[in-house]
């Protein structure tokens, strides 16, 4: 007779150089359940997972897995026991083929000891098809989207006969459709009796896919819930340990009908990603770009900011043709751009908070090329206080800050320039709920101060909450615009699919 | 604005190894001095200080330029050849006067640096390949100008004063270019917007561009300065030796410079420039040689020891995995 619980962690303690990261944490997962592990950044989620997967060693407590007490010393040992982890940054090799990635490090052999490619290809195809994915496994992995790459990582876990799969923010780089595919795979795994630990900051996903939730707060267990008996407010309050209200744009009538225009893109085309799109932004308005991944949202922002030259079309700034050939030009006009990937395109990880915050502002802080330290320090301190950036000092290297605080540093980098327009690409990705609310209320403050905002978010609720107008995009074209009471999740989805059918009819018209 | 629950901020604080990393050049220098205090007789004399200044000069000068280039995420392995080029150009120009000779040498190298910088910064060619070609090119030009001979410059006593003279009694002349160049580079890196940009470009080129930094010019400027400092090192060397040998001067000097930068704690991947670290690193490298020689150990052992020190330095400065 099998135990009800596949995994039981009891009384787990873990400290780093005297600082407690986990205190007496209990965590248990049933067979074949999808179990969410929630908590703010720094709550101890990753530490707990790392203890489970053998990357950290617990100071106290017991781990019972599949009826036996275990204490994995390495990630490999945990894997051998049947615990697999799909990391946020996928640990796959993009230049190798799909099947090589699935079997990397444990390639099947032929009788004479060489690698049995035929078997690998065959088995890889079978595993993926079992998940409902049919792709050419002999193509290099980088040919495929992030979502598919994630599926490959999951397939890899399955071939190791995983009984428990840990997914650390698996949806953070997926669009709505890809998330559906992932969820379908998760449901299939659940039917096969595989348990899943699901870590995500997106509350809606927890309610959609998970059965139970364990919440951690400050390294301690804050609560375990059945999702059926749970509402958002309770969950968020439990995570934060306090009552929480999210920012909400005052949804009156659309107030920017007659407002002065700040920027306008006219029939811009670029590569195959943008096909003659036109978008305008009024002064003080918050414009959202909605659409699936690959709809050209980020590309549109890149072109407006001068990071890429458009192949065709024109940009107007305050009704004048804007001569924007580089980000320098865009910054001079009064734009700021927080890119999608903080670490890759935004932060200088080895430099201090101070340097990161003032990098764009340096020309205004220098006298004869020399940085005026007093002026710099004053500005840095002002923004650390204003945005309540949690850092021991302004000299702290920015890479030691949490995701939310890093994002605040990037926002401050542009706020201190007194910009006219701030472009935000996924401003709250990978950020915990508390910091998220702070950033959303900052966005509202921008608008109140007359600063326009152009924002992209894969979380439609975020756009609905914050935007005055939403531009829905697909395949590099504008499908429609939504204002005031039209703005709702359903309307966005409707526009995306309605527009899609329009395109289909157009294509059929061409054929006839 | 409300603050969230208190995160265990201590967790986000740099680990102990960071402190060790920060002070590693000082620790190594201290260790070397301690070893000498115990094993080397007559070590703590003022003559040793003069000797270190004279012998370290070229490593420090080239190391300063190398620090800037490495901070941009590049590397300049052509500086040994640049030194030879500067020496030969100078020797040819000395009949027209000391100042024209010095200026011509520095300009010649600056042009080489400009070419390297353009290819790296504008054309995006790998710095290793660009400066490897430049290593061959500058050496070739120096040898052509030399025409296979060694140019003796011992008749120009005023010029030789730069490498052989003493000021304020016993202080070697080399101290002047050292102090000037170190001060200039320290000022650039720590105090100017340009210095911040050099490190920003090395840390994250994409982010630098999106922050409005002209990465191309920032990179070019670093290579030009590196070449100019190499020229100064070549001038100091030629005036000390009294002859310009286009074929052999400055050979492998780039290795000492890179080693000094590595030991000094500048990130080899770019982004973090430690000017004073390079200064200490250069002294450490030279001190190893002096220690070995003064203890009557064969010089070859110094190389083995140096290699161990470099590996150790890079090892403790490696990025801890996130």
pLDDT in tens, A314-342: 999 999 998 899 999 999 999 999 998 88
A480 near A279, Cβ under 8 Å?
no
Could you give the percent of chain B with pLDDT greater than 70?
93
CA A425/CA A308 separation, integer angstroms: 16
Determine contact: B59 vs chain A, CB below 8 A.
no
Determine contact: B210 vs chain A, CB below 8 A.
yes
Cβ–Cβ contacts within 10 Å for residue A134, how many? Answer: 9
Domains (range + CATH), chain A: 5-240 (3.40.50.300), 246-334+419-512 (3.40.50.300), 344-417 (no CATH)
Question: Does ipTM exceed 0.85?
Answer: no
Determine contact: B215 vs chain A, CB below 8 A.
no
CA A261/CA A121 separation, integer angstroms: 57
With an 8 Å Cβ cutoff, are A21 and B193 in contact?
A: no
B71: nearest CA in chain A? A350
Determine contact: A241 vs chain B, CB below 8 A.
yes
CA A347/CA B14 separation, integer angstroms: 17
**Across the strands, what pairs with A398?**
none
Q: Which residues of chain A have pLDDT under 50?
A: 1, 500-501, 503-508, 510-512
Secondary structure (H, E, C), B168-203 = CCCEECCHHHHHHHHHHHHHHHHHEHHHHHHHHHHH
- Which residues in chain A are contacts of B6 at CB distance < 8 A? 218
Å between B46 CA and nearest CA of chain A: 37
Give residue for tokens 């994002």.
A407
Give the CA angle between residues A360, A366, A367 to the nearest 5°.
160
Which of A42, A247, A329, A423 is the best mutation test for B, with the most CBs of B within 10 A?
A42
Cβ–Cβ contacts within 10 Å for residue B95, how many? Answer: 11
A357 near A380, Cβ under 8 Å?
yes
With an 8 Å Cβ cutoff, are A305 and B210 in contact?
A: yes
Helix axes B175-191, B275-294, angle to 10 degrees: 150
DSSP state of B12: G
* Cα→Cα distances B15→A195, B313, B320, B322, Å: 35, 18, 9, 12
Chain CA centroid to CA A392, Å: 26
The residues, ordered by sequence, that sit 6+ positions from B255 with a Cβ below 8 Å of its Cβ are none
Q: How many CA atoms lie within 13 A of A477 on its CB side?
A: 9
Sequential pLDDT tens for chain B (322 residues): 333 333 333 344 555 666 777 788 888 889 888 988 888 888 888 888 898 999 999 999 999 999 999 999 999 999 999 999 999 999 999 999 999 999 999 999 999 999 999 999 999 999 999 999 999 999 999 999 988 888 998 888 888 888 888 888 889 999 999 999 999 999 999 999 999 999 999 999 999 999 999 999 999 999 999 999 999 999 999 999 999 998 999 998 999 999 999 999 888 888 889 999 999 999 998 988 888 888 888 888 888 888 888 888 888 777 644 3
With an 8 Å Cβ cutoff, are B13 and A438 in contact?
A: no
| Beta strands, E only, chain B | 150-152, 166-167, 171-172, 243-245
The residues, ordered by sequence, that sit 6+ positions from A393 with a Cβ below 8 Å of its Cβ are A353
Read off the pTM: 0.75
Q: How many CA atoms lie within 13 A of A450 on its CB side?
A: 7
Which of A362, A380, A407, A434 is the best mutation test for B, with the most CBs of B within 10 A?
A362
Q: Give the pLDDT confidence score for residue A508 in this predicted structure.
A: 47
A368: nearest CA in chain B? B192
CA A401/CA A346 separation, integer angstroms: 14
Q: Which two tokens stand for residue A85?
A: 């982890």
The residues, ordered by sequence, that sit 6+ positions from A237 with a Cβ below 8 Å of its Cβ are A243, A244
Q: Which two tokens stand for residue B87?
A: 């020496």
CA A504/CA A494 separation, integer angstroms: 15
Restricting to A residues 290-309, those with a Cβ less than 8 Å away from any Cβ of B are 305, 307
Q: Please measure the distance between the N-terminal and C-terminal CA atoms of chain A and give it in whole angstroms.
A: 65
| Beta strands, E only, A271-389 | 274-282, 286-290, 312-317, 320-321, 335-338, 366-367, 370-371
Chain CA centroid to CA A414, Å: 21
Restricting to A residues 66-95, those with a Cβ less than 8 Å away from any Cβ of B are none
CA B257/CA B310 separation, integer angstroms: 12
CA B48/CA B83 separation, integer angstroms: 25
CA B184/CA B175 separation, integer angstroms: 14
Å between A191 CA and nearest CA of chain B: 35
Q: How many CA atoms lie within 13 A of A427 on its CB side?
A: 30
Domains (range + CATH), chain B: 45-259+271-316 (1.10.3470)
Nearest to residue A406, comparing CAs of A422, A391, A425, A385?
Answer: A391
CA A103/CA A117 separation, integer angstroms: 10
CA B202/CA B71 separation, integer angstroms: 5
Give residue for tokens 């526009």.
A495
């Amino acid at each position: 007779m099998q135990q009800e619980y596949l995994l039981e962690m009891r009384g787990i303690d873990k400290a780093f150089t005297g600082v407690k990261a986990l205190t007496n944490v209990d965590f248990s997962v049933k067979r074949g359940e999808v179990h969410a592990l929630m908590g703010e950044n720094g709550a101890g989620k990753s530490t707990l997972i790392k203890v489970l997967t053998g990357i950290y060693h617990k100071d106290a407590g017991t781990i019972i897995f599949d009826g036996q007490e275990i204490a994995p010393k390495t990630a490999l040992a945990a894997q051998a026991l049947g615990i697999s982890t799909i990391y946020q940054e996928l640990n796959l090799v993009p230049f190798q083929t799909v099947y090589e990635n699935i079997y990397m490090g444990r390639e099947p052999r032929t009788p004479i000891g060489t690698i049995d490619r035929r078997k690998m290809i065959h088995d890889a195809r079978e595993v993926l098809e079992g998940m409902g994915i049919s792709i050419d496994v002999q193509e290099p992995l980088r040919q495929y989207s992030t979502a598919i790459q994630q599926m490959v990582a999951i397939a890899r876990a399955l071939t190791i006969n995983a009984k428990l799969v840990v997914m650390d923010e698996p949806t953070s780089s997926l669009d709505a459709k890809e998330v559906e595919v992932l969820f379908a795979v998760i449901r299939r795994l659940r039917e096969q009796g595989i348990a899943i630990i699901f870590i995500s900051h997106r509350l809606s996903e927890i309610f959609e896919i998970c059965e139970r939730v364990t919440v951690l707060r400050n390294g301690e267990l804050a609560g375990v819930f059945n999702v059926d008996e749970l509402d958002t407010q309770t969950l968020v309050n439990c995570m934060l340990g306090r009552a929480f209200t999210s920012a909400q744009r005052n949804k009156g009538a659309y107030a920017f009908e007659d407002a002065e225009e700040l920027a306008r893109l006219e029939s811009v085309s670029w590569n195959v990603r943008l096909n003659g799109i036109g978008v305008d932004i009024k002064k003080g308005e918050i414009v959202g770009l909605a659409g699936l991944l690959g709809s050209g949202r980020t590309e549109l922002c890149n072109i407006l900011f001068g990071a890429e030259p458009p192949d065709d079309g024109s940009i107007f700034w305050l009704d004048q043709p804007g001569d924007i050939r580089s980000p320098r030009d865009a910054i001079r006009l009064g734009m700021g751009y927080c890119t999608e990937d903080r670490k890759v395109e935004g932060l200088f990880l080895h430099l201090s908070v101070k340097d990161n915050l003032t990098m764009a502002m340096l020309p205004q802080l220098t006298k004869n090329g020399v940085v005026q330290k007093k002026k710099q320090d004053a500005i840095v301190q002002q923004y650390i206080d204003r945005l309540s950036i949690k850092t021991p000092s302004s000299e702290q290297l920015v890479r030691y800050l949490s995701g939310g605080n890093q994002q605040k540093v990037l926002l401050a980098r542009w706020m201190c320039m007194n910009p006219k327009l701030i472009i935000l690409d996924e401003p709250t990705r990978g950020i915990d709920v508390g910091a998220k609310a702070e950033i959303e209320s900052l966005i509202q403050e921008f608008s109140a101060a007359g600063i326009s905002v152009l924002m992209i978010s894969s979380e439609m609720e975020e756009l609905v909450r914050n935007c005055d107008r939403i531009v829905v995009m697909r395949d590099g074209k504008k499908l429609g615009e939504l204002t005031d009471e039209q703005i709702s999740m359903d309307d966005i989805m409707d526009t995306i699919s309605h527009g899609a059918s329009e395109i289909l009819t157009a294509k059929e018209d061409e054929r006839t | 604005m409300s603050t969230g629950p208190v995160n265990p901020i201590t967790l986000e604080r740099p680990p102990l190894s960071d402190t060790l990393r920060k002070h590693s050049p000082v620790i190594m220098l201290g260790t070397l001095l301690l070893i000498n205090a115990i094993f080397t007789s007559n070590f703590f004399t003022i003559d040793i200080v003069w000797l270190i200044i004279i012998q370290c000069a070229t490593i420090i000068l080239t190391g300063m330029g190398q620090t800037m280039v490495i901070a941009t995420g590049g590397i300049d392995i052509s500086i040994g050849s640049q030194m030879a080029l500067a020496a030969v150009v100078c020797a040819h120009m000395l009949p027209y006067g000391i100042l024209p000779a010095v200026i011509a040498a520095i300009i010649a190298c600056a042009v080489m640096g400009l070419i390297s910088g353009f290819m790296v910064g504008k054309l995006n060619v790998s710095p290793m390949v660009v400066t490897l070609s430049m290593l061959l090119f500058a050496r070739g030009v120096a040898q052509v100008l030399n025409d296979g001979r060694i140019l003796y410059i011992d008749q120009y006593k005023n010029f030789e004063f730069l490498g052989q003279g003493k000021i304020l009694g016993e202080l070697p002349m080399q101290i002047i270019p050292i102090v000037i160049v170190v001060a200039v580079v320290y000022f650039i890196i720590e105090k100017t917007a340009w210095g911040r940009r050099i490190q920003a470009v090395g840390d994250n080129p994409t982010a630098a561009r999106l922050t409005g930094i002209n990465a191309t010019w920032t990179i070019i400027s670093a290579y030009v300065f590196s070449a100019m400092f190499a020229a100064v090192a070549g001038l100091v060397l030629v005036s000390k030796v009294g002859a310009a040998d286009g074929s052999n001067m400055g050979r492998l000097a780039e290795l000492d410079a890179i080693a000094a930068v590595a030991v000094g704690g500048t990130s080899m991947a770019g982004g973090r420039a430690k000017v004073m670290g390079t200064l200490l690193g250069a002294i450490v490298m030279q001190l190893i040689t002096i220690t070995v020689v003064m203890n009557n150990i064969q010089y070859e052992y110094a190389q083995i020891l140096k290699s161990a020190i470099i590996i150790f330095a890079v090892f403790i400065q490696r990025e801890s995995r996130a």
